[in-house]
Amino acid sequence: MESQHIENIVIVGGGTAGWIAAAAMSKMLGAGVKITLIESDAIGTVGVGEATIPQIRRLNAVLGLDENEFVRETNGTFKLGIEFNNWGHLGESYLHTFGDAGINLASLHFHQYWLRSRAEGNPNGLWDYSLHHKAAYNHKFGRLDRVGNTSMTGLAYAFHFDAGLYARYLRKLAEASGVTRVEGKIVDVALAAETGFIDSVTLDRGETISGDLFVDCSGFRGLLIGDALGVGYQDWSKWLPCNGAVAVGCESTAPLLPYTKATAHDAGWQWRIPLQHRTGNGHVFCEEFTTEEAVTETLLANLDGAPISDPKRLRFTTGRRDKFWHKNCVSLGLASGFLEPLESTSIHLIQSNVSKLIELFPDKAFDASNEIEYNRQVGHEYELIRDFLILHYHRTDREDSEFWRYCKHMDVPESLTEKMALFEGNGLLYKDADDLFRESSWVQVMVGQGLMPKNFHAMANRLSSEQLSGFLNDVQRLIQRATKDLPTHQDFINAHCKADLQ
């Protein structure tokens, strides 16, 4: 009897999505499945996408990567969070860190104790109780799981890296696990007449490559999922209005920061990503409110060092595919949707969706239930991230430009309105089990954007005023001591993962 197992996977595209899929699938599915990756040097990749979130460490573990080698090979640095400047209020900043502020006590979140102390006159901000904040602004970094023998968690971190070097590094891993790379431009996609499934793709030199399962990692265009299979795209621009970016690298400047910067401008925002050999910069914007020329000028005027490349222009539409999996094709990366780079979620979505695909891996019968469940899970994940991103634009006091007036007054999804109202009452959060962003992320961004709860949870009253101030002082002492013992970010890299920059 013919095997019903998928034996032949074709990945279309060799950007970050294609090579993550190739490396993870070859590792997880083993040698019984043939994997071919097709990419076209003539078309190239998007080549941005250099900031990540801590979940990438799970992918690294699955791939069996040595973290120091990975950072060295990609000219990488460490990331403790994102500094948001001018978002909630012009002239104000906050750091969305990857860690919790303080220590949760008796099953109540730390921010509730902080809210009570504030009501009693404590002038300290939430971040005065954050280890990540203290480490980041002292330019320090270390691998710290826990603070001493206390229940305070240590440093949660992610990476900044060179996107081109990252794809090259993953390619080496994937090819070592048996993935075959084919260079060439796909000019035709053949569908089976009866089922509409993809049979094969044809390259410009005439070669035809067939497969059981096709993974579309062809970037914004969605060569298979969109062009060949006609799956539509839900446009979310009314909530996430930015639709273009200009990116440019510049010379590095000291000190080496262990965080990304996201600085809001009149009609968008600018990223700053520190790498070992250069700083990555870009200005994301909405063309309905500005021009590419004006944005390029703002970007170049706000670099820390001299530019080292010509500005690169990118266009996109925020949103998602109507279906991520259709027939025998699963889309990943930009082919499946794009929620703009504000919280560095795209690379995470690639890895998360590859692991969902492996969990729900089909056989040649392609039972519709696998496809339905995959589309449900991925769609839900997209919506949760979407709401978190909209929060940054919508909860603002800014009315100083047409763009910010639009963002402040736009209608937002009810799911977000409800979350904001719940928090504004007495600092409560409804946590969806599938939400990528933890309570502490929602708290930091809501407070950072200026959404301050009117009251706090009654349980915070269980401590006497003396106990409360003793607890808060202890937290600060622990943070002070832990930060003092950390090396600088630069010293840590020099000692463990310095890139060969010759």
Ligand X SMILES: Cc1cc2nc3c(=O)[nH]c(=O)nc-3n(C[C@H](O)[C@H](O)[C@H](O)COP(=O)(O)OP(=O)(O)OC[C@H]3O[C@@H](n4cnc5c(N)ncnc54)[C@H](O)[C@@H]3O)c2cc1C
Nearer residue to ligand X within complex by CB, 126 or 334: 334
Cα 70 from chain centroid (whole Å): 18
Q: To the nearest whole angstrom, how small is the minimum distance from the Cβ of residue 458 to ligand X?
A: 40
CA atoms within 13 A on the CB side of 330: 29
DSSP class per residue in 104-135? -BTTB-HHHHHHHHHHTT----GGGG-HHHHH
- Compute CA distances 275 → 28, 70, 77, whole Å: 30, 13, 6
For position 45 contacting ligand X by CB under 6 A, the verdict is: yes
How buried is residue 47: exposed, middle or buried, by Cβ count under 10 Å (0-12/13-18/19+)?
middle
Which residue from 10, 59, 186, 354 is in contact with ligand X, where contact means CB under 6 A? 186
Q: What gap in Å lies between CA 423 and CA 421, rounded to an integer?
A: 5
Among 10, 38, 115, 189, binds ligand X (CB under 6 A): 38
Of residues 135, 228, 245, 482, which one binds ligand X by CB under 6 A?
Answer: 245
Helix (H) or strand (E) holding 237: none
Structure tokens at 380: 């839900």
- Closest approach of Cβ 418 to ligand X, in Å? 28
Only segment of 12-20, 92-100, 248-256, 447-455 that touches ligand X (CB under 6 A)? 12-20
Q: What is the x/- site pattern for ligand X, positions 191-230, by CB under 6 A?
A: --------------------------xxx---x-------
Q: Which is nearer to ligand X, 58 or 462 (CB)?
A: 58
Annotate each residue in 270-299 with x if it binds ligand X (CB under 6 A) or - if it does not, as one string: ------------x-----------------
Q: How many residues bind ligand X (CB under 6 A)?
A: 36
Task: Look up residue 401 and give its DSSP letter.
Answer: S
The SS3 call for residue 36 is strand
* Residue closer to ligand X (CB basis): 155 or 347: 347
Does position 453 interact with ligand X (CB under 6 A)? The reply is no
Per-position b or e across 418-452, b if 16+ CB within 10 A of its CB:
ebbeebbeebbbeeeeebbbebbbbbbbbbbbebe
Question: Do 429 and 451 contact (CB within 8 A), yes or no?
Answer: no
- Tell me whether residue 39 or residue 383 sits nearer to ligand X (CB atom): 39
Q: Which stretch binds ligand X (CB under 6 A): 48-56, 168-176, 287-295, 424-432?
A: 48-56
Per CB under 6 A, contacts with ligand X among 313-372 are 314, 316, 333-335, 341, 344, 346-347
Q: Residue 344 Cβ, how far from ligand X at the closest point, in Å?
A: 4
* Sign, CA torsion 65/67/71/73: negative
Phi-psi region of 422 (alpha: psi -120 to 50; beta: other; left: phi over 0): alpha
According to CB under 6 A, which one of 26, 36, 40, 353 is a site residue for ligand X? 40
Q: Give the angle 154-160-161 at the CA atoms, nearest 5°.
A: 140
The answer to whether the beta carbons of residues 220 and 324 sit under 8 Å apart is: no
Among 6, 9, 11, 13, which residue interacts with ligand X (rule: CB under 6 A)? 13
Backbone torsions φ then ψ of 276, nearest 5 degrees:
-70, -35
In the complex with ligand X, the residue whose CB is nearer, 175 or 424, is 175
User: CA-to-CA distance for 390 and 395, rounded, in angstroms?
Assistant: 8
Q: Which of 6, 11, 48, 295 binds ligand X (CB under 6 A)?
A: 48
Comparing CB distances to ligand X, the nearer of 29 and 314 is 314
Nearer to ligand X, 441 or 483 (CB): 441
Among 9, 14, 278, 319, which residue sits at the site for ligand X (rule: CB under 6 A)? 14
Candidate list 24, 50, 117, 266; residue touching ligand X; CB under 6 A: 50
User: Which range in 50-58, 67-75, 228-236, 385-393 contacts ligand X by CB under 6 A?
Assistant: 50-58
Please list, in sequence order, all residues whose beta carbon lies within 8 angstroms of the beta carbon of residue 88, skipping any fewer than 6 positions away. Answer: 94, 395, 396, 397, 398, 448, 449, 450
Distance of alpha carbon 451 from alpha carbon 111, whole angstroms: 13
d(CA 78, CA 486): 14
Binding part of the chain for ligand X, among 11-19, 86-94, 128-136, 224-232 by CB under 6 A, reads 11-19
Comparison of 13 and 319: residue with beta carbon closer to ligand X: 13
Nearest CB to ligand X, comparing residues 39 and 371: 39
Among residues 28, 43, 191, 300, the one that binds ligand X under rule CB under 6 A = 43
Burial track 160-176 (b if 16+ CB lie within 10 A, e otherwise): bbbbbbbbebbbebbbe
The verdict on 39 binding ligand X (CB under 6 A) reads yes
Q: Is 79 a catalytic residue?
A: yes
Greatest distance between any 2 Cα atoms in the chain: 79
- Of 339 and 482, the one with the shorter C-beta distance to ligand X is 339
Q: How many CA atoms lie within 13 A of 320 on its CB side?
A: 20
Catalytic residue of the set 34, 79, 172, 431? 79
Tell me the closest approach of the beta carbon of residue 334 to ligand X, in angstroms.
4
* Least Cβ distance, residue 137 to ligand X (angstroms): 21
For β-strands 198-203 and 186-191, DSSP reports them as antiparallel
As measured in angstroms, the least distance from the Cβ of 333 to ligand X is 2
Least CB distance from residue 160 to ligand X, whole Å?
8
- Rounded distance between C-alpha atoms, residue 235 and residue 286, angstroms: 14
Q: Which residues are catalytic?
A: 79
Q: Which residues bind ligand X (CB under 6 A)?
A: 12-18, 38-40, 43-46, 48-52, 185-186, 217-219, 223, 245, 282, 314, 316, 333-335, 341, 344, 346-347
